[in-house]
Structures are given as structure tokens and as C-alpha cells.
Amino acid sequence: MPAERDVSPADVLAVVVVYVPHLRGYFTNRLAVVRLSLESLIRHKPAETKVLVFDNGSCAAVRALLDGWVGSGEIDFILRSRTNIGTPAAIQTVFRLGIRPVIAYGDDDVFYYPSWLEPQLEILSRFPAAGMVSGVPTLDGADHAVGATLQAARGDRSAHIDKQGRIPEAWEQDWALSTGRDPLERAERARTTDVPRLDWRGMNLFVGATHFQYIGWAERLAACLPTTWPMSLMGNMRELDEAIDRQGYLRLSTPERHTRHMGNAVGTGLRQEAAGHGFKIAPLLSPPRLTWAEMRLERIRRVHSKVWVTYRHIGRLLDGEAIVSDAFAQAEGLVKRGAAPKEAGKT
């Protein structure tokens, strides 16, 4: 295995992609989520680590929130798109800017615990072949694209592989609640699913990495992204995992939970935890009432039926979440021109 590679917080650019088109429907409580996410990142990161936000076509309230942090210097760089160009295109733009050698990526609904970055940096330093390191192990992060990681561990006599590792049920239940899934079903999966755990180079690690928060070498991550401009608004993250694995890079996670997914609202459990860390969170707003058509469809079909999914997709378009057709052309022009991000406090 290659020699260890020194890396420090001063080498890191923390990147957050923000998308809140309005504060209705799914996004009713999203302003509080984004506020807590960025407050926890800024407060709990090392001072030397810079922050870049990609504002992916957010509404005026969110733009004002971000402008406040830009004005105070807590957000160091900001990129803005008039409309949503999608997460894949946003990260493709940012990862190739070359501002810092290491990217610490997070969605806009991630909570960062104190000292969230340092344990991930230690893994990146100890394992020069690492391609992606996450601050929390997840079942979804370990169920694919781990061939190169396991092969490298098997080829190192100093590495011990526990094939029957378990991710704590409570962590998977929290993730299920934040994504609208069944927490009991998720707990059962955590109890019965083997996730390889490694004792390697004096560190305890889980195999796999998650999409909502990870760190890695910017050049390496960029090289594993598609060479063409992505046209999807979401997805393509498993393709990034697979490309990292194909290149022989490792996907690893810390054994402890240093970051946490929130979803579209700050849940009760996290509210209590965040309050314990000194954060103030706006009261939870009531979800919007179902329309007559939604209630009727709910009686006729299960939520996961194809008819329901199609209906909800149309509803999102009518609710103002449609994407303007020239967004991709606009974004492609940004990349081709090599536009640099705006640095806070500078014009």
C-alpha cells in the first residue's frame, strides 16, 4: 500500500449544494433545515477550512440567509445558478475548481457534530488509496462498489476483516425517519445485515461511504465524474461510487456518527441534540393539508403505486418545482467559460 499522505484542515474546502425553490409543500420547513445544517458546519469545522456554497436556484428567503453568512465572512465562496441545474452538475462544477486539494461535500440537510471533519481526515491521511470517506456508516453506502476496498484489505496481512459488523439500529432508524421510510423495517435490516468492519492500520473502519456527506481528494473525485454534462437533476451518485471502485480507490466510513441526515424537517430527537449543542431552531410548521384529489387517490391506491408517483410528479411541477429548460445550457456555459466563484467580501 502507498505511504501515508499528510492532509490538514487547511487543505479542505467544505462544499454544500443548496436547493430550496420555495417554502411550500415538501419545502415548508426547509429554511430551518438549511440554517441548522450550515450553522453546525460553520461552528464545528476547523477555522482553517474554507466553505463554498452552490446555490442551486433557491428562493429569496434562502438567498437572504446565505447572503448574511457571505457578508459575515463565514461563507468564503458562493456560486449561484438562476435555476436548478441538478446536484450532479453542481458537484461537477465545484469539484473541478481547484480551490483546495480536498473536498468535504455535504447535502443541505446534513447536521455536523463537533469535530466532524478531523476523524475523516485521519482516514484520508492513513489510506492514500482512499477515494471517498464518510462521517457515518450506512447500509446503503456499504451495499455496492466495495470490491476494491475489500480486495485491498485482503491483500494486507495487517488488516483484519470482521465480516459480520453491524451498524447501530438507531442510526438507521434516524435515517429512515429523515427520508420518509419505515423505521421498524430499517431497524430489522440493521439487525440482520452484515456490513464488513475493518481493523486496519491502527484504525477501526466500516466498508462503504454515503452520498449525503463525504470527503475526498478533489482531483480524484473529479476524475471519477462523467466527462459529459449531466442532464439529471438527482441521482448519478451510485455511478460515482462505482467509478471510484473501478479505479481501485477505497470507500470507507468512520465507526462513529459524526454527521447526520435531517431530511425536509428537523425531527424531535435531533432538535434535542442540537439544542444541547446551543443551536436555536424555529418551531416545526404543520405539514400542508392533503388536497381532495390526494385524499381520493390515497383511498384508491397505495402511496407507492405508479399512479400515485406520476400524480405527485405532476403536482410538483404545478407547485413551482419545474425546471426552466435553459438551465442546463446556462450551466454548461458557466463551465465552458471557466467562471470562478465569487469570494465573500469581494466583487
List, for residues 55-69, the tens digit of each pLDDT value: 999 999 999 999 999
- CATH code for position 223: 3.90.550.10
Residues 9-18 have a mean pLDDT of 98
Mean pLDDT of 29-43: 98
For residue 131, give the nearest of 18, 2, 230, 261 by alpha carbon.
2
- H-helix segments, the chain: 30-44, 60-72, 87-95, 118-126, 139-142, 147-154, 169-178, 183-192, 218-223, 237-246, 268-276, 292-300, 306-316, 327-337
Q: What is the DSSP letter of 201?
A: T
pLDDT average, residue stretch 250-265:
97
What confidence score (pLDDT) does residue 289 get? 62
pLDDT above 60 for 116: yes
Structural domain including 194 reads: 9-284+323-343
Residue 79 domain-assigned (yes or no): yes
Instruction: Examine residue 87 and state whether it is found in any structural domain, yes or no.
Output: yes
- At residue 117, does pLDDT exceed 50? yes
Question: CA 68, CA 66: separation in Å to the nearest integer?
Answer: 5
| pLDDT at residue 347 greater than cutoff 90 | no
Q: Average pLDDT of 301-307?
A: 50
Tens digit of each residue's pLDDT (9 = 90 or more) over 153-179: 999 999 999 999 999 999 999 999 999
**pTM for this predicted structure:** 0.82
Report whether pLDDT(313) > 60. Answer: no
| Range 99-115 average pLDDT | 97
Domain count of the fold of the chain: 1
Find out whether 134 and 110 touch, Cβ atoms under 8 Å.
no
Please check the confidence at residue 233 and state whether its pLDDT lies above 60. Answer: no
**Interatomic CA distance for residues 31 and 37, integer angstroms:** 10
pLDDT-derived band at 95 (thresholds 50, 70, 90) equals very high
Tell me what pLDDT residue 230 has.
Answer: 61
Q: Phi and psi at residue 175, in whole multiples of 5°?
A: -65, -40
Question: Is 181's pLDDT higher than 60?
Answer: yes
Confidence (pLDDT) at 338: 39
Residue 45 lies in a domain: yes
Q: Which three cell numbers stand for residue 183?
A: 423505521
Is 290 inside a domain boundary?
no
Q: Let me know if residue 298 belongs to a domain.
A: no
* pLDDT given for residue 177 in this prediction: 94
The pLDDT of residue 344 is 55
- Looking at the DSSP bridge assignments, the partners of residue 53 are 16, 78
Q: Using the structure block, give the residue that is written with the C-alpha cell 442532464.
A: 231
> Do the domain assignments include residue 4?
no
The radius of gyration of the chain from alpha carbons, rounded to an integer in Å, stands at 20
Return the HEC string of 310-341: HHHHHHHHHHHHCCCCCHHHHHHHHHHHCCCC
Determine the pLDDT at residue 346.
Answer: 46
User: What's the confidence (pLDDT) of residue 276?
Assistant: 96
pLDDT of residue 290: 57
- What's the rounded Cα separation, in Å, for the pair 51 and 38? 10
Q: What is the pLDDT of residue 337?
A: 36
- Whether the per-residue pLDDT at 335 is higher than 50: the answer is no
Structural domain includes residue 300: no
Q: What is the mean pLDDT of residues 260-288?
A: 91
Whether 299 is in a domain gets the answer no
